[in-house]
A and B are shown apart, each in its own frame.
Chain A
Amino acid sequence: MALGERLPDLSEETFRLLRDVIHRHCGLWFRDDLRYLLARRLGPRMQSLGLSTYAEYHRFLRFDPRGLGEIDEATDLLTTNETYFHREPQQLAAFRREVLPALALERRPEARLRIVSAGCSTGEEPYTIAILLKESGLFEGWQVEVVGLDISRRCLEVARAGVYGEHAFRAAEGAELRRWFRRRDGKWVVDETIRRMVRFSAANLLDERALAGVGRADAVFFRNVMIYFDLAARRQALRRLHGRLREGGWLMLGHSESLLNVTADFELVHLRDDLVYRKPRVGAPEIA
């Protein structure tokens, strides 16, 4: 027995047409080398609709009255990114050791803290942040909120359910987080204490109105998301996040990302073990 036919080929022409449709819809930009990803993610969807070629799928997106809803579906599929608890541990350690104590000091008068996980996918990052906040013991009695934002409704459904497989804990530090989960039917369900700290919201990071309900943030995690934006969209998303951050608020990017040649709106801060960015302060205190 041999494995049968796979997905049909996605030609360069149709890839570019599909990429343009997605880009116009939400600003996501798929580089040429992500053609396989597009084919793999959209192929099963195309088949489930009974369409046999990507060109037919493009026509469906462009012309079928259901196309607008389908672009949302496609965007969902393309932005579902595999992640796990305690990803990039070195940065999280620096966040715990240096940023959290600084925030505890700065925000003590108001005893309020809000951290945003922008592009939170299936929720592993915001729950990790919530656990770090809880375990730090620095914010007991405070009004603490972690906000997970993502454009994908499919991801947000998983995030809100808070139920994860073993593989989500594959990082060594992630395995230690299991104490905040309980076993159910072979899965790990996030503890209510942690779940209550986190809220999720659907948001296109390029849309100012979508971010309006987030409130002022003390720190924003924006890790491994910029890869899906072209330069103009990166600048736009960062401008939006800059607008949401308090002055002096922190911006955490993925370890391979930087703002060089993107924006000068943030200052680079050298922590002991990591580099992070910060929204510069103006002298006067800000009203929340």
Chain B
Amino acid sequence: MSDLPPRPPLARTRDADEETRYRAVQELDAERPAELAELLSCLGDGSWRVRGAAVERLAAPADPRQVLPGLLAAVDGGDSVGARDAAGAALARLGPAALPALVERLGTGGPEGRQAASAILGAIGDRRALPALAARLADADANVRASAAAALGHIGGPEAGTALLAALDSDDATLRGAALEALASLRLAPPLAQLTRLLADRALRPAAYRALGASDEPGALEALGEGLAERSGSVRLAVLDAIGRQRTRRGRDALERLARAVRGVAERQPGAADACAEALAGGEPTVAAGALTALSWIGEARHAAAVARAAEDDGLRSLAEEALEALPRSEAVRQALAEVAPALPPLARLSACATLAAAGDGAALEAVLSAIDDPDERVQEEAVAALGRLGDARAVPRLCARLGDARADVAGLAASALILIAGRSPADRQAVLGGCRADGAPGPSPAALRVLGAVGDAEDLVRARAALGAEGLACRVAAAAAVAGLAARGLARGEHLPELIAALGDGSWEVRAAAARAFHVLAEARAEDRLADPRGHEHPLCAQARVALQDRLGDDEPAVRAAALEALGGCGRPEHAPHIAALLAAAGSPPLVAAAALRALVRLGAATPALLERALRHPDAEVAKEAVAGAAGLAGAEGARLLSAAARSGRWDVRHAAARAMAARSEPELREEAGRLAAVEPDELVARAFAAAARRGER
């Protein structure tokens, strides 16, 4: 061991050993002038680790003004690309502190300095830089123009979008390309007429197609579908990416025009479908989603195997199953799937077998039934769900056997599957009811109660009421829901439900909450005249029930208070409003309770503008959104004023709710305001909603 004192860091930053330099840099302090100079020098070190460490040190000074001049000089005059990049990275890490100097550099530096400043401002992402960057789209230097466009694409927002859209008309082809790529990355679509012109330029075509993925214009769908006819692989991938994005944004049903165009191309060019199948192997999720969507429209047997394989991917399984289902019911498809199925991974095999079973293949149905007992839980769960979708009554005994499964997931899925099967035909319903009534001893399981509540008869109401006294907590909770479900279908016929009122006083909050939710269901059913009670008849929402519900407003458990509030709101009796308003006003009311109280008051017509205005300012967005819903139903200037206020909320989801509410109103001034907000809204989803609200007025 050496007794020599360790060398100071400044003496080690030029050491031949990379590790020594790396550690020395970490010890340097950017606040000390000599060490700052050395750190700036280390930005040019040959090792990226050393450069990275220097960036870290330079990006965290107490006073950024100390490091800015050196970093700006290094961006301009660094010895190497690595040094300039590292200086840029440090400036980007400094963030807003570097903004004024970089903006100034945009206007005064040389071409390389302006280009670098643009890129760094893009990396910082501060919107205050947008005007300066937009001005650089007219820079004398082509590289600066392109760099500014890319930076605008990184920062985003309406101002960036407007500038980039204008740049699409530039004479400079490089700028047009950079602007289009930036718009595609922002998922902002130029007008279709403009995009059609840009599609004529081979170099711009991939970006133009990607931009079509964000277009709301109906004609964009045809243009996109025609894109599948492109010969270039990269262009076709861009087309599939855009189809995938349209599928994600709009859902399958809204895309019929696109489907027709895709089918048309596939008829003219058989190779287009093969290209879609090949794209499935690429690994890009949106491209694969687009390829599966296109293949589901094309529906050719020869791609059955490729589509089935895609079903192994969780993120693509629904789309793959849709595509499998869309295949023609031909012998060729049956053979292709039967051949490939044994070699597929378990979940994809299940999807293939379910498709075959749906086409009437008995052996495949047996394979799906067997998968219920697979040792892999995920295969079991998928098999249960697939049997529900198949709706084949032969699955009923196997599914009923799972209603008592110790894993609530499997039992719950089996219940969902049985409810689906029961909806197929009266005979299937009877098969399901027979299985569920025989389930469990001494009483039905919670999952069986769920099925009975959803599809049962009057005799099942007796079972469910009895189960409210069951020993098991989950049974009592499920029984409350079942009683509500059956009664809401008119099966209680004015009967008094004392067991349900008693359940409001159960020792377990879960049961009390379930009973209160049950009364809410009953109240909604009564309001819609589904209880089959003679008008004026008090049962089952009798005065006794309402008193018990009002008692629950003081329950220790917020979930019970919230459910009781909803039920009282649904009863439609204004005398409850003061109690409900008191809960809303109570200090420290949990958001769950506040949201339920607000909903109840709106339901009772007792939500005043002042109360809604206060709720709009609630720190929890879910409460604020309830206030938006209340304001939406408030006619006249007060409602419009509250929606305007909500449209300026700091929370994107509150603004989104406001935009949707504005779309449902008829006031021209609200539509005009929506248009103005659409132009400045930073969130893409919300901006679309404001634009849609504004467009409603145009129609």
Q: Which A residues contact B (CB, under 8 angstroms)?
A: 1-7, 9, 12-13, 16-17, 32-37, 39-41, 44-45, 47-50, 59, 62-65, 80, 82, 154, 163, 165, 167, 170, 185, 187, 260-261, 263-264, 267-268, 280-282
Q: Would you mind naming 20 contact pairs between A and B with Cβ atoms under 8 Å apart?
A: A1-B391, A1-B392, A12-B249, A16-B652, A16-B685, A33-B248, A33-B285, A36-B248, A36-B318, A36-B319, A40-B314, A48-B413, A49-B412, A62-B592, A63-B622, A82-B314, A82-B345, A264-B22, A264-B48, A264-B53
4 closest cross-chain pairs (CB), A and B: A48-B412, A264-B52, A37-B315, A63-B592
- A44 in contact with B413 given A1-B359, A36-B285, A282-B23 (CB within 8 Å): yes
The minimal Cβ–Cβ distance linking B243 to chain A, given in whole angstroms, is 13
For the complex, what is the distance from the CA of A13 to the CA of B686, rounded to whole Å?
9
Chain A residue numbers with a CB within 8 Å of B558 are 65
Chain B residue numbers with a CB within 8 Å of A185 are 375
Whether A34 pairs with B413 at a CB distance below 8 angstroms is no
Whether B316 pairs with A36 at a CB distance below 8 angstroms is yes
From DSSP, what is the main secondary structure of chain B's interface residues?
helix
Whether B390 pairs with A3 at a CB distance below 8 angstroms is yes
Interface residues in B, total, Cβ within 8 A: 72
Whether B481 pairs with A50 at a CB distance below 8 angstroms is yes
The minimal Cβ–Cβ distance linking B23 to chain A, given in whole angstroms, is 7
Chain B residue numbers with a CB within 8 Å of A62 are 591-592, 622
Q: Which of B174-182, B256-264, B381-389 lies at the interface with chain A? A: B381-389
For the complex, what is the distance from the CA of A260 to the CA of B481, rounded to whole Å?
54
For the complex, what is the distance from the CA of A48 to the CA of B410, rounded to whole Å?
7
Contact of B315 among A36, A48, A267, A268 (CB under 8 A): A36
Sample of 10 more A-B contacts, CB < 8 Å, known A4-B420, A13-B653, A36-B248: A1-B358, A4-B388, A12-B685, A16-B652, A50-B416, A65-B558, A165-B346, A167-B346, A267-B18, A281-B19
Chain A residue numbers with a CB within 8 Å of B465 are none
Residue of chain B at shortest CB distance from A45: B409
Whether A3 pairs with B559 at a CB distance below 8 angstroms is no
Whether A3 pairs with B481 at a CB distance below 8 angstroms is no
For the complex, what is the distance from the CA of A64 to the CA of B60, rounded to whole Å?
42
Tell me, yes or no, whether B557 is within 8 Å of chain A by CB: yes
Chain A residue numbers with a CB within 8 Å of B52 are 263-264
Tell me, yes or no, whether B355 is within 8 Å of chain A by CB: yes
The minimal Cβ–Cβ distance linking B182 to chain A, given in whole angstroms, is 17
Chain B residue numbers with a CB within 8 Å of A80 are 378
Tell me, yes or no, whether B99 is within 8 Å of chain A by CB: no
Tell me, yes or no, whether B562 is within 8 Å of chain A by CB: yes
Chain A residue numbers with a CB within 8 Å of B248 are 12, 32-33, 35-36
Chain B residue numbers with a CB within 8 Å of A264 are 22, 48-49, 51-53, 55-56
Chain A residue numbers with a CB within 8 Å of B391 are 1, 4
Q: Which B residues contact A (CB, under 8 angstroms)?
A: 18-19, 22-23, 48-49, 51-53, 55-56, 89, 248-249, 251, 285-286, 289, 312, 314-319, 321-322, 325, 345-346, 354-355, 357-360, 375-378, 381-382, 385, 388-392, 408-413, 415-416, 420, 450, 481, 509, 557-559, 562, 591-592, 595, 622, 652-653, 656, 685
Residue of chain B at shortest CB distance from A49: B412
- A34 in contact with B358 given A6-B389, A280-B22, A282-B23 (CB within 8 Å): no
Chain A residue numbers with a CB within 8 Å of B557 are 65
Q: Which of B23, B314, B355, B410 has the most chain A CB atoms closer than 10 A to its own CB?
A: B314
Chain A residue numbers with a CB within 8 Å of B377 are 154
Whether A39 pairs with B48 at a CB distance below 8 angstroms is no
Whether A64 pairs with B559 at a CB distance below 8 angstroms is yes
Residue of chain B at shortest CB distance from A157: B377
Residue of chain B at shortest CB distance from A185: B375
For the complex, what is the distance from the CA of A261 to the CA of B420, rounded to whole Å?
50
Residue of chain B at shortest CB distance from A73: B409
Chain B residue numbers with a CB within 8 Å of A33 are 248, 285-286, 289
Residue of chain B at shortest CB distance from A7: B318
Whether B346 pairs with A2 at a CB distance below 8 angstroms is no
Contact of B376 among A3, A165, A281 (CB under 8 A): A165
For the complex, what is the distance from the CA of A1 to the CA of B391, rounded to whole Å?
8
The minimal Cβ–Cβ distance linking A66 to chain B, given in whole angstroms, is 8
Chain A residue numbers with a CB within 8 Å of B315 are 34, 36-37, 40
Whether B416 pairs with A48 at a CB distance below 8 angstroms is yes
Chain B residue numbers with a CB within 8 Å of A163 are 375
- A267 in contact with B19 given A63-B622, A65-B559 (CB within 8 Å): yes
Chain B residue numbers with a CB within 8 Å of A3 are 321, 325, 354-355, 358, 389-390
